[in-house]
Amino acid sequence: MSSLFGHAFRISTFGESHGGAVGVVVDGCPPRVALTEAEIQVDLDRRRPGQSEIVTPRDEADACKIVSGVFEGRTIGTPIAVIVYNKDARPDAYREMETAFRPSHADYTYQTKYGVRNWQGGGRASARETIGRVAAAAIAKKVLKELAPNLEIVAYVKSIHALTAEVDPETVRFEDVEANIVRCPDAPMAQRMIDFIKEVRSEGDSVGGVIECVVRGVPPGLGEPVFDKLEAELAKAMLSLPATKGFEIGSGFPGTLMRGSEHNDAFEMRDGKVRTRSNRSGGIQGGISNGEAIFFRVAFKPTATIFHEVDTVSTTGENTTLKARGRHDPCVLPRAVPMVEAMTALVLCDHALRQRGQCGTV
């Protein structure tokens, strides 16, 4: 099913960009977890459009409403439904997409798959779809706080186009990420990125980049052999985000240039614990967390919708051109940072509960 994710902590999202609402149903959440709408809203605000001058100006408060599963401020074990109504929809700005397919967008493939599509604002392929994920992940984080109190997820912009930040995954802090609107913890580089995105936008163009994510304080033992390896689940989670083109964990693609004798992470006893001397594994071995920091990178392509006139094809099969209107991000990465965090939290929460189910403790 296209819109279900997770096995023990299972979410089901719904909603189109210009339909009535977007949201999520979370099934399997542990009971007695303190939860308020305000806590969910914090993450939704980090994801919402209109939050800064380098993102889409669509003006959505994205105010969430919990309509089930919470009673007197605590989860009760039953499905938690969270809903956000679309307010600032402007379907007319998408009128051209009714009859022509935007290049590198989902217009053509949705039409071909289903024989019908909601052409307003990208429908289900819009980044608005991620609201449900971010809301569910806010809940997952509360659960993780109980199951693995030291666990900490920090995602940040590692590069925009050719501008690459210097960041130490072992020490980077959430506060430094949130300190600027591009969400890059290397402050001088962040400013250059912001200037560059503005310049690209002024040209009606778009740009991509790489987000890095680190998870510290992961209990060893999360993830499973074979298909549900933790890195496999993370890879799926990340590639399910709009505009992603690649995922690498630990040493990643550059690791293919090393020999085994260089690449292997020697074990050693440190502070009474089994630790690795290096961390080319990225915190996961054989699909299972080893207690070291998990870190990975996700490639985001430049936004498909640009304000140039482009060659394309009409829904009736004729060559034509299209010039987009509407409101679009010149670069998705600043708003994608909380999405990467969210998908990471969903994967880890799911596996923490699976681990507790099969093996008794996390």
Site residues for a copy of itself, window 256-275 (CB under 8 A)? 256-269, 272, 274
The reply to whether 80 sits near a copy of itself by the rule CB under 8 A is yes
The smaller minimum CB distance to a copy of itself, of residues 153 and 200, is found at 200
Site for a copy of itself contains 325 (CB under 8 A): no
Total residues interacting with a copy of itself, rule: CB under 8 A: 159
- Tokens describing residue 206: 């778009």
Least distance between a copy of itself and beta carbon 166 (Å): 17
Distance CA 220, CA 114 (A): 43
The DSSP code sequence of 40-79 is: HHHHHHHH-TTSSTTS--------EEEEESEETTEE-SSP
Sketch the per residue contact string, 8 through 37, with a copy of itself: x for CB under 8 A, - otherwise. Answer: x-x-xxxxx--xxxxx-x-xxxxxx-----
In the complex with a copy of itself, which residue's Cβ is closer, 46 or 124? 124
Q: What is the largest CA-CA distance in the chain?
A: 69
Window 112-171: residues binding a copy of itself (CB under 8 A): 112-118, 120, 123-125, 129, 159, 161-162
50 binds a copy of itself (CB under 8 A): no
Figure out which of the listed residues 150, 166, 175, 317 binds a copy of itself, where binding follows CB under 8 A.
317
Single-letter residue type at 163: L
> Is 92 among the residues that bind a copy of itself (CB under 8 A)?
no
Is the CB of residue 238 less than 8 Å from the CB of residue 298? Answer: yes
Q: Does 189 contact a copy of itself by CB under 8 A?
A: no
Q: Binding to a copy of itself by residue 217, rule CB under 8 A?
A: no
Q: Residue 53 CB, nearest distance to a copy of itself (Å)? A: 19
Instruction: Give yes or no for residue 237 binding a copy of itself (CB under 8 A).
Output: yes
Is the Cβ of residue 150 or residue 256 nearer to a copy of itself in the bound state? 256
- Residue 67's contacts (CB-CB under 8 Å, 6 or more residues apart) are 81, 82, 83
Q: Report long-range pairs for 168-171 (Cβ below 8 Å, ≥24 apart).
A: 169/212, 169/214, 169/293, 169/295, 170/214, 170/216, 170/293
Backbone angles phi and psi of 312, in degrees to 5: -160, -165
Return the H-helix or E-strand segment holding 160. strand 152-160
Q: Of the candidates 93, 152, 302, 327, which one interacts with a copy of itself according to CB under 8 A?
A: 302
Q: Does 276 bind a copy of itself (CB under 8 A)?
A: yes
Residue type, 338: P
Shortest Cβ distance from residue 191 to a copy of itself (Å)? 20
- State the nearest-atom distance from the C-beta of 168 to a copy of itself, in Å: 20
Residue 320 phi, psi dihedral angles, 5° rounding = -155, 180
